[in-house]
C-alpha cells in the first residue's frame, strides 16, 4: 500500500477533526477518534502533529484562511455606502448559511482556546484575523464610495464584528434567517450614517 504524503495526511486529519468537533464537540475529538474519522492509523497522528493542540492550531489557521479569503472576496460595492454595506453583509450571511458547521466550530474553538493554556494566543489570532477583514471591508467601501468614517475605523471594525458574531450565534440557536438578515440590514443602515462625504 502506498504511503500517504505527510501534507495530505495532515489535511485529512484536520478535516476529520473539524467534522468530529462539529458533530460531537471538542471532548469527542480525541486523537483516536480523529484518526478513525480520517481512516488513518493512530501512529499517523503522532507522525503529523506533536499534540492535539498542534492539530487544533492548524485547524484554526486553515479555517480562518478560507473564511477571511471568502469574506474579503465578498465585498460588494453598490450605488452608495448603505447599499454596499447591506450587500456585503448579505454576502457574508450567505457563507454562514452555506456552512453553519464551520461557524459552530469556530465559536466553540474560541471558548475552548481561552480555557486551554496549550492554545494560548489562538483565540487572539482568530479575532485579529476578523479585525483585519472588517477593516478591509470598511476601508474598501469608503474608498469606493468617496467617503470617510466619522469614527476611527478600529472602533467601527469592532462594532462590525460584535454584530456579526451576535447575529450568527442567535441564528445558530433559532435558525431564523429572515430575522438575521433584518438585523444585518438595519445595522448596515446605521453604520452608513457614520460615513461622511469627502469634499
Q: Look up residue 85 and give its three cell numbers.
A: 454595506
pLDDT band at 1 (very low <50, low <70, confident <90, very high): very low
Which parts of the chain are beta strand (E)? 147-149, 195-197
Which parts of 102-191 are beta strand (E)? 147-149
The pTM of this model reads 0.86
pLDDT in tens, 134-187: 999 999 999 999 999 999 999 999 999 999 999 999 999 999 999 999 999 999
- Under DSSP, the state recorded for 5 is P
Cell 493542540, residue?
Answer: 53
pLDDT band at 84 (very low <50, low <70, confident <90, very high): very high
Give the integer Cα–Cα distance in Å for 32 and 185.
45
Q: Which domains does the chain have, with CATH numbers?
A: 1-49 (1.10.10), 61-197 (1.10.357.10)
- Under DSSP, the state recorded for 30 is -
Amino acid at each position: 500500500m502506498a504511503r500517504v504524503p505527510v501534507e495530505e495526511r495532515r489535511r485529512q486529519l484536520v478535516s476529520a477533526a473539524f467534522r468530529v468537533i462539529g458533530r460531537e464537540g471538542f471532548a469527542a475529538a480525541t486523537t483516536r477518534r480523529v484518526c478513525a474519522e480520517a481512516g488513518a492509523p493512530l501512529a499517523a497522528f503522532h507522525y503529523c502533529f506533536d499534540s492535539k493542540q498542534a492539530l487544533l492550531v492548524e485547524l484554526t489557521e486553515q479555517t480562518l484562511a478560507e473564511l477571511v479569503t471568502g469574506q474579503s472576496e465578498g465585498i460588494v460595492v453598490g450605488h452608495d455606502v448603505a447599499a454596499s454595506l447591506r450587500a456585503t453583509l448579505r454576502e457574508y450571511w450567505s457563507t454562514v448559511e452555506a456552512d453553519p458547521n464551520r461557524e459552530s466550530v469556530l465559536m466553540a474553538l474560541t471558548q475552548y482556546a481561552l480555557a486551554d493554556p496549550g492554545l494560548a494566543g489562538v483565540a487572539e489570532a482568530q479575532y485579529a484575523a476578523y479585525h483585519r477583514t472588517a477593516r478591509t471591508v470598511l476601508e474598501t467601501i469608503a474608498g469606493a464610495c468617496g467617503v470617510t468614517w466619522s469614527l476611527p475605523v478600529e472602533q467601527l471594525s469592532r462594532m462590525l464584528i460584535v454584530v456579526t458574531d451576535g447575529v450568527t450565534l442567535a441564528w445558530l440557536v433559532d435558525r431564523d434567517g429572515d430575522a438575521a438578515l433584518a438585523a444585518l440590514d438595519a445595522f448596515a443602515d446605521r453604520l452608513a450614517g457614520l460615513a461622511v462625504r469627502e469634499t
